[in-house]
Chain A
Amino acid sequence: AQRVTQPEKLLSVFKGAPVELKCNYSYSGSPELFWYVQYSRQRLQLLLRHISRESIKGFTADLNKGETSFHLKKPFAQEEDSAMYYCALRVSFGAGTTVTVRA
């Protein structure tokens, strides 16, 4: 069975500080992993996908198959990063992490 775990429901950081959102998955096959972001009162939108290995809005995420993790990181958080972040394994989602970036 597929399962996605995001252990932190809430994350509060200061502007300019690093931020890391944890995501662990369980899946026996080759995973398709995504990070989605939902800004206040907006629809979910794709932030990153593991296959692209790209940096979007300063965020990166590395797939670690040994630890079955796909953590999302940004070295310097900005106030506009305040949002809900979801990790997804294909079409299964974690519970989400609400990030608040304080000035």
Chain B
Amino acid sequence: EAQVTQNPRYLITVTGKKLTVTCSQNMNHEYMSWYRQDPGLGLRQIYYSMNVEVTDKGDVPEGYKVSRKEKRNFPLILESPSPNQTSLYFCASRLAGGPAEQYFGPGTRLTVT
């Protein structure tokens, strides 16, 4: 089944404790991205990747890192999480060319205390 998976689905952590949220897709998509979803603000893009070893900042990249060593994986790293990073995070992937839609993961609800 074609899908985007994320782990963990729920995470509660403390300020400053490094964490990684994994994202994987099995559709051979070149483009992958991370969003955070906050009430009233919709989906805001954090980082995106056009292909392996090619990443770029989205609209709200501060406090986040990403890497793209393999085509299928695009982990999101929070080196020193802070409470304002408490949010619902979605990973997405799509084909790079043409008017292609994005396929979304199930979301990761992160709480930073």
Residues of A within 8 A of B (CB): 6, 9, 32, 34, 36, 42-46, 49-51, 86, 88, 90-96
**Judging by beta carbons under 8 Å apart, are B42 and A96 in contact?**
yes
List the A side residues contacting B82 at CB < 8 Å: none
Set B33, B94, B99, B105: member contacting A43, Cβ < 8 A: B105
**Judging by beta carbons under 8 Å apart, are B42 and A49 in contact?**
no
> What is the number of residues of chain B that contact chain A, defined by CB distance less than 8 Å?
20
**Judging by beta carbons under 8 Å apart, are B99 and A49 in contact?**
yes
Residues of B within 8 A of A (CB): 31, 33, 35, 40-45, 48, 90, 92, 94, 99, 101-102, 104-107
Report A58 CB to chain B, min CB distance, Å. Answer: 19
In the complex, what residue of chain B is closest to A4 when comparing beta carbons?
B42
Main SS at interface, chain A? loop
In the complex, what residue of chain A is closest to B42 when comparing beta carbons?
A95
List the B side residues contacting A44 at CB < 8 Å: 43, 90, 92, 102, 104
Apart from A44-B43, A91-B31, A91-B48, what 17 extra A-B contacts exist at CB < 8 Å?
Answer: A36-B102, A43-B105, A44-B92, A44-B102, A44-B104, A45-B104, A46-B101, A49-B99, A50-B99, A88-B102, A91-B33, A91-B45, A91-B102, A92-B45, A93-B45, A95-B42, A96-B43
